[in-house]
Structure 1
Amino acid sequence: MQKLQRLRAKAGATAGLMLLSGLGLGLGIATAAPAAAYAGWCNDGYASNVKTISSVTYTAYLPGYNGNADCYMNPGAESKSVAMLQRSLNVCYGRSLDVDGIFGNATKNALIYAQGKENISADGGYGTQSRKNLKWEYTRGGSFRCVRL
């Protein structure tokens, strides 16, 4: 009888914690940020980032949503933003993707490879964590460098 009561108490406590977590209330339980934190799906827009390396200014063109780099992509996406990601995966991580702007299995696998190299969540989806931790192709004229933001 006591065993059954303990099980019921644990189940009740777990349900209560899940309810509080879902409401975002205390107890130090972390919940995932909503997708709304992103500007939107990376589309044909782009965002640029400028860096000075050894007194030479380079520019990287990053996937973007109407000029905002805080966007996301997953398999199934088709846009110039996907092509920008594919090019950097080829140049900076030695992948051999067709730069066609289609986020298919090959792009997902290349992204998983790069995410693993950078010790971040290797889920094959592109978002803030990938943008901030992957190396990007920074260009100036005909020369380039692969560096993180």
Structure 2
Amino acid sequence: MLSRASRLFRLRLPSAVLAVALALGLAVAPGSAAQAALPTCNSFVYKDGYNAYGSVSVRVPVWREPYEPGYTLDCDLRSGNYNNTAVRILQETLNHCYWNIIGAQLTADGDFGTKTRDALIKVQRHHGILADGGYGPQTRKTVYHHGLATNEGAGTCGRLW
């Protein structure tokens, strides 16, 4: 028969081991598929979207294999992406569709710096989504993208279908 002290020790030992392992960084929970690394967006495509006036064709950042057909919308843009066409498209979208949210206009230079990150955080907060300052699947699905109206003729903003 175990003493009371021995029973307490046995009950608390797993918790203590876990706490020490976490403190030392030894226990890491596996990431979900959604957290898996995405390729960096490097181009754009026109996709069907909509707004209050009807159908629009919007420019959306994508990842495209160089010299290969096809693309994927599942890509990522973050601080540190430079000289990138997809970043320039994102900056133009923020300037045209969210000028009243972001304040000062961004220079659409294709460099994802602190001003682009801060503007994107403002837009993410405006939409009530995770405000991490990065452009990924959740942001792509939520924000309005800049493009061409198919029934108005002028540049406009719309969400993806």
TM-score (norm. length: structure 1): 0.75
Give the match for residue 35 of structure 1.
36
Q: Aligned to 2:72, what secondary structure does the other structure show?
A: coil
Q: Within 2, Cα distance between the matches of 1:99 and 1:116?
A: 22
Deviations 1:56-93 (A, max 9, x none): 64211111111322110110102010011011111111
Larger relative CO (CA 8 A, sep 6+): 1 or 2? 2
Deviations 1:74-131 (A, max 9, x none): 1010201001101111111113111111000000000101111111110111110110
Match for residue 148 of structure 2 among 123, 139, 147: 139
Indicate conservation of the 8 Å contact 1:136/1:147, yes or no: yes
Q: Aligned to 2:110, what secondary structure does the other structure show?
A: coil
Give the match for residue 74 of structure 1.
78
| 1:117 is the counterpart of 2:121 | no
Q: Within 2, Cα distance between the matches of 1:109 and 1:116?
A: 11
Letter in 1 for 2:93: S
Q: Within 1, Cα distance between the matches of 2:121 and 2:52?
A: 31
Give the match for residue 84 of structure 1.
89
Give the match for residue 59 of structure 2.
61
Q: Within 2, Cα distance between the matches of 1:144 and 1:103?
A: 23
Letter in 2 for 1:93: Y
Q: Within 2, Cα distance between the matches of 1:114 and 1:53?
A: 17
Change (3 A) 1:47 1:32: same
Q: Within 1, Cα distance between the matches of 2:53 and 2:90?
A: 26
Give the match for residue 48 of structure 2.
50
Q: Aligned to 2:156, what secondary structure does the other structure show?
A: strand
Indicate conservation of the 8 Å contact 2:51/2:157, yes or no: no
Q: Which has the larger radius of gyration?
A: 2
Superposed CA RMSD in Å reads 2.8
1:46 deviates by 1.3
In structure 2, list runs of 5 or more residues that go unmatched.
65-70
Counting aligned pairs with the same residue, the percent is 31
In structure 1, list runs of 5 or more residues that go unmatched.
23-30
